[in-house]
Structure 1
């Protein structure tokens, strides 16, 4: 029984939303950030990078407080305005490849996260959870929704499509050529129907935003323990989410790049691989695997296909059958000596949207010795791993859509 409720969003005014909305801070190059900060006074980057005003880097608690200050200035200047009533927000993205994503921005329950109604498939780092929890506690808002997915639901889809027949409250196109639309659902009957449909769902799944949801849960625990009058209705009991049906989710793979062969020659490396893989040299033409448990490899100017010898590898769980786990257990750890996928600087990741050509160019540059490609995880694999309480290796999925910060804001 999922608790997905409407909320009073703080939003940019219609005339400024395209100027405010930004990608995640880390996705910009330094030159891109500086250009936006120099020439766009309305960018949300001014809020999350408050040190720009003083021409210096500011970190820790001091930065969090300044983020809060910049946010309040945007509200004082009426760049941001809070909706007078609680709404669901229908959000649509049409990307440059004409892929369409339709869903609802709403508040999801931290208690549901605790009780495994909202299920996870990816590990998180405890120190990152704590850092972001402290950040949320100081700034008092969340500006980037967690991406959740739910089973396709005809009732919710009908309400979404009906809302989309009206003029959108927001419509803007980014420099990435993605077009974003937002509609408000403030009709009492529609709100009750949507809430009831989510209540009838026994589970929903985190698609993207595991650290953000974990940090929101830690904030909920802190605030609950410190509030003798806790009722369960306080804003800290929820976190902002973008919920889309499973059929709208797009899952891409993450390819692996490794800096060296762990002291092995090319020939020694291939011989070790031959123990558990059938290897075929595909030459210089780009090669991409087409089915599970098959991998591509780019090494010394040539592509190879690797076919797992299944008689030598056992599938004891859904995690064991995951290609990212197979690659780790058969090559990265035992042959290349990579035991810590999160922190080992010898391994890097390239999302599958960049394709094997990016893997080739990275290896050809000399920065990496070998690259591996795989097919994407599917939604059923992701759900099964979550249902079994298991966690995928890091960078197992690159999931779309990717949302903009600052379009809707949830205040604690």
Structure 2
């Protein structure tokens, strides 16, 4: 069963929350972070993307960047931008995007649960990305990035969290520049804290990483290093846990994660369309973009026209990986026709989150940068759970979750 703990969150003064809050460090470039933080000395990018405060051209993985992050975090505390709660708390974090709300519990999840499979994964991690977060955690002595977890709904937890929101005023409530509303409540009552901890221990057999595999892996590796150096004082030491926000599955939505390819691998457009008909029904739907309406349906943009592709029977298997649309597209189009065998490394393919819309796909093809685009039906949360439960991993760039949690609203120190 899932082990979670309250913790003494490091968080902004109420009047500064909107200015501190920053998008996750890995969804924008250093240049974009520098623009986002311009004129705002309180932006958490000064901690999560601290290269913005160093000379242009600084290696973002250099020790100078990690040292600057630690310096900036300490400055925020010294100047009163951030303060630490005096007692361990849970935090309720509600996000509203385009009228849809999702409410999660910010807590410290067990590294042991991550190591032994109570917290389930669905992606491979890359050592260089793990090392970046390891260096950041060790320099700042803080987990500044939130890991987004999901769990199968527990009615008692939903009722408890809903009741707390109704009965208590939020600590923060603001709408960011992108129109997403962020509301946070602090759960400090010992009885409520104890009840939440017990409900997870009794009712939640597993949690699933939705977003943040590298952050989770790095927290595990830091804990291992601290244990080997005998730096851990007890089982409740903060380094034995990592910063997470856990959402009930029923409230989550996964957006499509679409593909663009730079060339047709020597095929003409007419030849590609002809070859596609072996594995798909192909329908020209004109110039107006249409999102796929169901599983195994794809939208393709080629030479100014949108096409509806529907996978024929026999082009996919029914196992958790084989039935995924990303797998169907990879095997029957990207590899078979366009020669892209490894989408992780091939420079001819690019990926665009569904938050950008189909218009972005058309724009990049029309500009001549790309030759063809494919839009996919989103993976379902149940498909994600099935793959994690089976011990498999998703193909690369399969899921895009929105809205994104903001960094800086709650940090765990270690």
Q: TM-score range by the shorter chain?
A: over 0.9
Q: Indicate the SS of the match to 1:257.
A: strand
Contact kept? 1:123, 1:393, Cα under 8 Å: no
How many angstroms apart in 1 are the aligned matches of 2:161 and 2:329?
41
**Corresponding residue for residue 99 of structure 2:** 98
Contact kept? 1:254, 1:396, Cα under 8 Å: yes
Q: Indicate the SS of the match to 1:290.
A: coil
Unmatched segments (≥5 aa) in structure 2: none
Distance 1:384-1:52 versus aligned 2 partners, 3 A rule: closer
How many angstroms apart in 2 are the aligned matches of 1:5 and 1:231?
14
**Corresponding residue for residue 280 of structure 1:** 283
Q: Indicate the SS of the match to 1:227.
A: coil
Distance 1:137-1:190 versus aligned 2 partners, 3 A rule: same
Distance 1:330-1:51 versus aligned 2 partners, 3 A rule: closer
RMSD (CA atoms)? 1.8
Provide the aligned length of Structure 1 versus Structure 2.
410
Q: Indicate the SS of the match to 1:282.
A: strand
**Corresponding residue for residue 295 of structure 1:** 298
How many angstroms apart in 1 are the aligned matches of 2:30 and 2:73?
22
Contact kept? 1:297, 1:371, Cα under 8 Å: yes
Q: Indicate the SS of the match to 1:175.
A: coil
Q: Indicate the SS of the match to 2:15.
A: coil
Aligned counterpart for 1:242 among listed residues 245, 248, 251: 245
How many angstroms apart in 1 are the aligned matches of 2:365 and 2:338?
16
**Corresponding residue for residue 388 of structure 2:** 386
**Corresponding residue for residue 191 of structure 1:** 193
Alignment of 1:134-153 (within 5 A): 134-153=135-154
How many angstroms apart in 2 are the aligned matches of 1:276 and 1:156?
46
Contact kept? 1:108, 1:241, Cα under 8 Å: yes
Distance 1:261-1:53 versus aligned 2 partners, 3 A rule: closer
Deviates more, 1:337-346 or 1:113-122: 337-346
**Corresponding residue for residue 42 of structure 1:** 42
Q: Indicate the SS of the match to 1:92.
A: strand
**Corresponding residue for residue 342 of structure 2:** 340
Distance 1:274-1:375 versus aligned 2 partners, 3 A rule: same
Q: Indicate the SS of the match to 1:292.
A: coil
Q: Indicate the SS of the match to 1:131.
A: helix
How many angstroms apart in 2 are the aligned matches of 1:26 and 1:315?
33
How many angstroms apart in 1 are the aligned matches of 2:209 and 2:373?
29
Contact kept? 2:292, 2:299, Cα under 8 Å: yes
Deviates more, 1:32-41 or 1:135-144: 32-41
Q: Indicate the SS of the match to 1:130.
A: helix
How many angstroms apart in 2 are the aligned matches of 1:286 and 1:38?
36
Alignment pair present for 1:214 and 2:217? yes
Aligned-residue offset at 1:354: 2.6
TM-score, normalising length: structure 2: 0.94
Alignment pair present for 1:69 and 2:71? yes
How many angstroms apart in 2 are the aligned matches of 1:293 and 1:49?
39
Q: Deviations over 1:5-41 (max 9, x none)?
A: 1000001111111111111345457775444444111
Alignment of 1:319-338 (within 5 A): 319-338=321-340
Q: Indicate the SS of the match to 1:40.
A: coil
Deviates more, 1:334-343 or 1:368-377: 334-343
Q: Deviations over 1:247-281 (max 9, x none)?
A: 11111111111110112211222232222222222
Alignment of 1:18-167 (within 5 A): 18-25=18-25, 27-28=27-28, 33-59=33-59, 60-95=62-97, 97-165=98-166, 166-167=168-169
Aligned-residue offset at 1:79: 1.0
Deviates more, 1:287-296 or 1:202-211: 287-296
Aligned-residue offset at 1:343: 2.4
